[in-house]
Structure 1
C-alpha cells in the first residue's frame, strides 16, 4: 500500500507545531518568543529575501504565514506571469490567480482580448478547474487518510483537456504550465510512476529550469517518495529548496521527512551547490552546531548567500542569551556576558571579520554591519561606532540609525540634562509610558537608561521609567517615596522630566503629585502603626479620597472576603456613645485623628472606656492586617484575593525598600513584585486585645478577644512560618495560646458555645 505524500507533509506540519500547541495546552495563553529577549539586530538584514522564512523563530513563521495566506510564497510564479502579461499590474495578476469568486475573475479580463491573453485566460480557467476538483486534499481533518483513499476522481477528462490545449500551444511558458497540471493530476491520482515517466519524456530535458519547472519537480519528488525511493526524493527536494523561490518551505518540510527514512540525497550529489544546500538544511535543523556548519560553508562556498542566513540565525541565538528582558531586580547586566556568551561573541566576531576581509565575498556591507554589532556586544564601543560609520547601504539605513542610538545610550555612565534631551527627542512622550507595543530597541534603551539612573542614585527617574506611580503604595519604601517627592517638587522640569511626570495617574500637576505622594507616605506610617507621623501627612484633605466604613473598628467570626461587610462585621461596640465621634463613613485623612482619640481614651482613668478603646484599636489593626477583612485599605488594593497579600512562593525574596537601600538589582523594572505585604499589624492588634483582658471582667467580651487573639497568632504563623499552598486546616500547628485560654477558662460562655459550632478550625483544634 502506497504512503500518501501529501498526508505525510500534513503530519510533519502537525508534529512541528507541537511546541506551540503544548504552550497553549498548559494554560500559558498567547506565546511570543520576543517576550523573553530583545531582538536588536534585524534578521532581515540578509541579502536573499527568499530565505526569510528560515530565519530563527520559535513560531514556525512560514507555516503561520501559509495558514493565513495560501499564496504567501508566490513571487516566483508571479514574476513568470508578469513576463507574459507586462501590461498587467502584479495586483491584477494576483487577483486573477487567487480569487475564488467567478465574477471577480471575469472582471479582471475586461478589455483584455489579445490572442495571448485569451490563451492565458483559457489556461487559468483550466487550472482553476483542477484546483477545485482536488480541493478536498486541502481539508484539515483527522480522517484525511480515509478521505484521500475513498475519494475517486475521474481524471481522464482533465488529461484530455490538457492534451488538447497542448496540441496547439506554442508558447513555451504556457506549455510547461499545462505540463505542471498534468503532473499534478497524475500525482494526486497516485499514478506516481506514470508522472515520473511523463516528466522524463516530456519535461526534464526539454525546458530550461524556471519556477514552474521546480513546481513540477516538487511533485516528482513526492512521487519518488510514494514509491519509496527516498534517496531520489531527498535529492530532488534539495534541488527545489536550492532553486525555487516559492517552494523552499515545502521542500524543506519534505526533505526533513526523507531524513526520517534515512535518506539525505547524497548518492546523487553533483558539485558544490548540492553540498552547500545540504549544509544549509543541516544548519537550519541543528541548533547546536551552527558555527561548525558555518565554517564548512565558508571553506566550500564563502560567497553563497545561504551563509548569511546561518550566520544571522547564530546571531539571533546569541541575542536570546545576552538580551534578557527580565533584568529588573536580577543581577544580570545588559548585555548578559557570561563566559559562554562572551566566547560565542568572540567566535562570531572573528568569523564576521574574516568574511569581510575575504576577497571572494561580495556583500561586504552585511559582514561589516554584523562586525559592528558584535564589537558592541563584546564591549568595544569605539570599534563598534567606527565600523558602523562605514555602512552606506540604503536598505541598512534604519538599522544603522537604530544601532547608533543604542550605542550612544550604552556608552553613558551618567545622564545629564543634555542626554535627557536626547532621550526626550528620540522617545517623545513614550518615555513615560512603557508601552508593550514599542519596538525592541526602545525597550532595551529604557532598561539601560533606568539602570544608569539607578546606579547613580536617581531613584525617582529610575522608578518612573518602568513603573506607574500608583505602584508605590504597596512598596513601603520611604527611601523611594522621598526621592519621588523631591522630583515632583523640583521646579523648571525639562522635557524628559515632564514626560516622566506623566507616569502619574491622569497626568496631574506637580502639586497634585506631591499631594498624592504625601498621602502614600501617610499610608506607609499607618502600615507601620505610626499614627502620629501618619497624622502629619494625612491631616489635609485626601488627594484621592478613600472612603472608610466605621465597621473597620468592628470584627468578624465568619471568614469571607467576598461577603458584604454588613453580613459579617457584626460586632457593634464601636457604636457605643464614647465613640460617637466616629462617623458611619469617613475619609483617609480622618482615620489617624480617630486612632489618636482612641489612643487617648485607652490611656484614661475610666476603666470601661479604656478597655473598649483598646478593643476598637485592636479590631482596626487586625482588620487592616493581611488576613483582615479590610486589608486593602492601606495598600490601595482590593481585599478579595490572597495573592495580593501573601508571599508563600517567594518567601526568601527581599522587600523593595531593602533592595533599593542596598542598590540591589540592575534597575527597578519588576520592583512591584517585591511589595511588603507583612507589617506585623496583627501582632499590634494582639497587644491591644491583651490590654482589654487586663482591664475587663466581662467574660463574653474576653472570650471574643481571645478568639481574635487566636486569629492574630494564626496571622503570625501564616507570615513567619507557613509557606505552603492554598487552604490551611490547622494540622501543622498544635499550639495556639489564645485558643487554649479560651478553652480552659471561657468554655461556659455563650460566645464559646457559638464559636465551637460556627468555626470548624476551632472545633478541630479543641479536639486535638
Structure 2
C-alpha cells in the first residue's frame, strides 16, 4: 500500500494537530446502542485482554464503543488530582484538590494566592478547600503554579459546540497574556523541585506550541533527556509532535506520536488521531528514527490501524517478532472487516485473489504456531475459512484452537459459537442423528442473554443466522413444518393443509427433545394457529366454525370500537374514542354476529342484515375492528393495505361479504331512509373494491404519486342514491361526503 498525500488529508491533519494540543472535538454521534455486538459473530474482547487497545477494535464508529474521543479538556483531571495528592502527601484532601485543579476559576485562585500573603479567605472558599496551610511551603508553591496554569487555559482549553466542528479559533494575543511567558520561564528555571519543574516545562512547551512552533520544539528537545517518561512527559511530547507537524517535519512528528501511543494509555486515541504519514518517503524517515525493534513494531501497528491496512502491518511485525502481542489487535480488526464486508463470493476475481492471499498468510501463521496467542490465530483462521466457504478447513482450525483455548467462559463461548456455525454448514442434510448432535449447542445458543453472558459477547447475529440456515436446509429437504419453526413465512399459512400439519406437529404426544426444541423456537404457537383458522372461517362467513375454532384459543383480546355500527366516513379512531356500552372480545363479537346473521330471516330482517353488514365492513382493513384480524399469523398495525402480507391482503381488504349483507338489508328495507343508508354503504364497498383493484393491487404504487391519477368514479350505488334526494340521510351524506357531492354535480 502506498501512502497518499492529498489536500483533503492535509486539511484533516491540520485539525488533528488540535488533538495533540488538547483541543475539544465534535461531540455529536459518540457511541450508540446499536453497535457491532448486533452484526458480528467474532468478539475481539475474547482475544485482546489489554483494555487500552479496545478503542481500536474494528468499528464503523470513529472509536469502538466511544465514537468520537471528546475528553480533551477533561482527560487528565483524575490523574492530576492523584499526582498532586501524592506530591502533597495527602495534606490537602482529594475533593479540595479536584476543586482547585478542575473547577476553580482565575479569581478564586487569586484569592488563595492572597491567602499566602496574609489575607483571609472568604467563607465560600474555606468550605470548598480544606487543609490549605500558610506554613506549608509546598502549598504555597502549588497555588503559585496553579495561578499560572489557570491563565494558560485562556489559549489551551476550548469548548466546542456539541453539533459543530469549528477549525478556526482566535487565540489571545501575547500582550493580553501579559507576563505569563516570563512567569512560566522563571518558574521553570528557578524551581528546584523536579515535580514542579516538569509542570512548568509542560506549560512552557504548550505556550510555545500556540505561539512559536520552533521554540516549542527547542524547549522540548533541550530538556527531554533529563526526564523519565511519565504522563506529564508524554503530554509535553504531544505538543512538540504537533509543532513538528506544523513545521512540515512529518517523520519525527509521527515517530513521537508512536512513542506517545505506546507510552501513555491516556493519550492513545490522541496519538492515533494525530498520526498521519504523508507518503512512503516520510514513513521511511519515521522508521529510521526507531531505536529498537519494539518501536518499529509499534509504528507498524499504528500504521495498520490508521490506514486500515492490517495485513501489511501484520506481515512486517511478524518478521520482526512473531510473538509480538501487537499482532493480536490487527488480526481481530482484519477478521471483523472481512465478516462485515460484501460476501466473498460476490467479489471481483482480483478482490477474491487478494483476500485469498491474505487469508492464506493468516492460515500459515496459525499453522506455524510461533505467535504468543495460538488460540486467536487458530480461531481466526477457522472463521476466515468459514467466511470464504471452506467449511472442512474451518472445522480443522477450530479443532486446533480447542487445544490452546484459555479456560475462560468468553473464550469457550466464542469457540463454541463459531464451531456451531461451521457444523451446520457441513451438514448435507439434517437427519435425526444430526438433530440430536446439534441440540445441546442450539439450546445453549438460544438460552444466551445479556444477563447470562459477558455483555460484549457477540451472539445476536448467530441466533438469526442459525434459524435462517436451518430453515433453508429443512425447506430444501421438504420438511416445511420444521422450516417454519425456525423462520416464519406468511406463504406457509396460505395453505390450510400446512396449518393442520403444524398443528399436528405441536400436538404430537411422542415428540422427541429436538422436536420440542423446534416448538419452542417457533414464533407461532398452537393457540395462534387456532385463532388464525377461526379468523379465516369468519371471513368466509362460516361463523359457527369460527366460534368452534376460537374456543381453543382461550381468552381473546377486546376490540377497540363497536363493530356493529356504520359510519358515513371511515374513522376508526373516532369509533375507538366513542362511548361504548358494550365491549366486545373477539369471541363475543363472533357470537353476537352469529346471532344477528341467524335473525335476518325474522321480522327485523333489515336491522339484522344491516348490523351484520356493518360487522363485516368493520372487520375489513377499512373498518373500526381491524383488531379482530390482528394476530400472530396475520400481523398487526397495518398502516395501509400495502403493509399487509400478499397472502392475506385480498381477504382483509375485501368488502364483498359486507356488500352481500347490505344488499340483503336493501331488499328488506321498508323506508326510503333505510334504502338510502344501504345504498351509501354499498357505495363505500364499491369504492374500497375499486381502490383494491386500482391502487393496492400493486405495492409499487405506494411510492408513486401521479397528481393526475383518478381517485373517484361514479359508483353505481351513488347513482342509485340520487333517487333519494328527499331523505334526511341523503342531505347528511351530501354535506359530509365530497365524493358524493362530485357524483351529484357530475
> When the two structures are superposed, what TM-score results if normalisation uses the length of structure 1?
0.69
Confirm or deny that 1:316 pairs with 2:318: no
Kindly state the Cα deviation for residue 361 of structure 1 after the two structures are TM-superposed: 5.1
Residues 193, 223 of structure 1: 8 Å contact kept: yes
Is the 8 Å Cα contact of residues 205 and 216 (structure 2) preserved in structure 1? yes
| Counterpart position of 2:593 | 595
Which sections of structure 2, spanning at least 5 residues, go unmatched? 1-12, 105-125, 425-429, 696-700
Asked if 1:716 corresponds to 2:689, the answer is yes
Does the residue aligned with 1:411 lie in a helix, a strand or coil? helix
Superposition deviation, residue 596 in structure 1: 3.6
Aligned counterparts of 1:11 and 1:696: Cα–Cα separation in 2: 88
Q: How does 1:510-659 map to 2 (within 5 A)?
A: 518-538=530-550, 542-544=554-556, 546=558, 551-564=562-575, 584-602=582-600, 604=601, 609-635=604-630, 644-648=638-642, 654-655=646-647
Q: Say which SS state the counterpart of residue 61 (structure 1) adopts.
A: coil
Question: 1:73: how far off?
Answer: 8.6
* Aligned 1:226-241 pairs, distance under 5 A: 226=246, 233-241=253-261
Kept after mapping to 1: 8 A contact 2:244/2:250 = yes
Paired residue for 1:153?
A: 177
Evaluate the alpha carbon distance shift between residue 689 and residue 301 of structure 1 in structure 2; reply closer, same or farther with a 3 A threshold: same
1:704–1:751 CA contact under 8 A, matched in 2: yes
CA distance in structure 2 between the partners assigned to 1:530 and 1:388 by the alignment: 62
User: Is residue 246 of structure 1 aligned with residue 266 of structure 2?
Assistant: yes
Identify the match of residue 32 of structure 1 among 23, 31, 34.
Answer: 34
Aligned to 2:221: 200
Structure 2 Cα separation of the partners of residues 360 and 586 of structure 1: 73
Partner residue of 1:753 out of 723, 731, 739 = 731
Q: Is the 8 A contact 1:187 1:223 kept in 2?
A: yes
CA RMSD of aligned residues (A): 5.6
Q: Which residue pairs with 1:41 in the alignment?
A: 43
1:316 CA displacement: 0.8
1:122-271, aligned counterparts within 5 Å? 131-136=149-154, 137-141=156-160, 148-149=171-172, 152-154=176-178, 155=180, 156-165=182-191, 168-169=192-193, 176=198, 178-188=200-210, 190-203=211-224, 205-207=225-227, 212-226=232-246, 233-241=253-261, 244-256=264-276, 269-270=287-288
| Mapped partners of 1:435, 1:308: distance in 2 | 23
1:759 Cα offset (Å): 1.3
Paired residue for 2:54, among 52, 67, 70? 52
Aligned to 2:656: 683
| Matched residue, 2:6 | none
The secondary structure found in structure 2 opposite 1:563 is: helix
* Residue of structure 2 in register with 1:440 after alignment: 458
Distance 1:631 1:183 in 2: 72
Aligned to 1:390: 403
Post-superposition Cα deviations, 1:94-149, rounded to whole Å, max 9, x if no partner, equal x9899848999989999xxxx9xx97x88876775555444454342458955633
Aligned positions of 1:392-411 closer than 5 A: 392-393=405-406, 398-408=410-420, 410-411=422-423
Task: Report the CA distance shift for 1:227/1:417 in structure 2 as closer, same or farther (over 3 A).
Answer: closer
- TM-superposed deviation, 1:693: 4.0
How far the C-alpha of 1:270 sits from its partner, in A, is 1.3
- Residue 6 of structure 1 deviates from its aligned partner by 8.3
Determine helix, strand or coil for the equivalent of 2:400.
helix
CA deviations on 1:525-581 (whole Å, 9 max, x unpaired) are 2244432320222358952353687x4222101332222458699xxxxxxxxxxxx
Q: In the superposition, relative to structure 1, how do residues 293 and 678 fare at CA in structure 2: closer, same or farther (>3 Å)? A: farther
Distance in 2 between the 1:536 and 1:434 partners? 43
Instruction: Report how many residues are paired.
Output: 673
Partner-residue secondary structure (3-state), 1:724: helix
Relative distance call for 1:368 and 1:9 in structure 2 (3 A) is: same
Q: Partner of 1:700 in structure 2?
A: 673
The change in CA–CA distance for 1:317 and 1:268 in structure 2 (over 3 A counts) is closer
Q: Is the 8 A contact 1:424 1:495 kept in 2?
A: no
Mapped partners of 1:251, 1:265: distance in 2: 16
Looking at structure 2, the residues matched to 105 and 265 of structure 1 have their Cα atoms a distance apart, in angstroms, of: 51
Change (3 A) 1:71 1:49: farther
Q: 1:186 to 1:81 in 2, by over 3 A?
A: same
Structure 1 gaps of 5+ residues are 25-29, 323-334, 570-582, 656-674
Asked whether the equivalents of residues 485 and 518 of structure 2 are also in contact (C-alpha less than 8 Å), the reply is yes
How far apart, in 2, do the equivalents of 1:342 and 1:4 lie? 37
Looking at structure 2, the residues matched to 283 and 528 of structure 1 have their Cα atoms a distance apart, in angstroms, of 66
1:436 to 1:265, Cα distance in 2 relative to 1, 3 A: closer
CA gap 1:642/1:441 in 2 versus in 1, 3 angstroms = closer
Aligned-pair CA distance for 1:681: 3.6
Q: SS of the residue aligned with 2:177?
A: coil
What is the alpha-carbon distance in structure 1 between the residues aligned to residue 196 and residue 569 of structure 2?
Answer: 83
Give how far 1:624 is off: 1.1
Is contact 2:379–2:397 with CA below 8 Å preserved after alignment?
A: no
User: Contact (CA 8 Å) 1:240, 1:251: kept in 2 or not?
Assistant: yes
How far apart, CA to CA, are the structure 2 residues paired with 1:626 and 1:454? 33
**C-alpha contact 1:7 1:144 (8 A) present in aligned 2:** no
The SS at the match of 1:553 is coil
